Amino acid sequence: MKQEKTILIIEDEKGLCEIMKERLEKAGYKTLVANDGAAGFQGILEMKPSLVILDLNLPKITGEEICKEIKDSCDKSLSKIPIIIVTGKTDDVDRVCGMAMGADAYLTKPFSLENLMNEIVKIFDLPSVQF
């Protein structure tokens, strides 16, 4: 029996959250949503999800702050949580900064759900896409 993976989506665009949540749950993932940085950061600390999908432009706490705080944490159960950044920041310098902060993948909006699922499969080291 496979271990259930929990994915936390931290995104302030509610419509995009619902689309991602529906697709991830259809693929068999337990999916949680936070619509601002503060709630998302608290969710990471409390739930220690298997993966975080993180927007950078968030109210209350930015995605950059969350990513840096998690990846720089002395708590290995936090610092090892994979992070996929999904953002409207499309410049190469933004991508480089995102990866330097510790992101495991960087997708720019608009992105395809197929690309998101492919990144998740890579991060979880799964043999094939789970749709």
In a domain, 85, yes or no: yes
The predicted model scores a pTM of 0.92
In a domain, 129, yes or no: no
Q: CATH number for the domain including 77?
A: 3.40.50.2300
Q: For the chain, what is the domain count?
A: 1
In a domain, 30, yes or no: yes
In a domain, 1, yes or no: no
In a domain, 101, yes or no: yes
Could you read off the pLDDT of 41-90 as tens digits, one per residue?
A: 999 999 999 999 999 999 999 999 999 999 999 999 999 999 999 998 88
Q: Whole domain around residue 29: which residue ranges?
A: 6-124
In a domain, 64, yes or no: yes
In a domain, 131, yes or no: no
Tell me the C-alpha distance between 19 and 70, whole Å. 25
In a domain, 31, yes or no: yes
Could you read off the pLDDT of 16-37 as tens digits, one per residue?
A: 999 999 999 999 999 999 999 9
Starting at the edge strand found earlier in the chain, the sheet holding 51-54 runs: 30-34, 6-10, 51-54, 83-87, 105-108
Query: Using an 8 Å Cβ cutoff, are 55 and 13 in contact?
Result: yes
Lowest model confidence (mean pLDDT) among 17-31, 67-81, 97-111, 117-131:
117-131
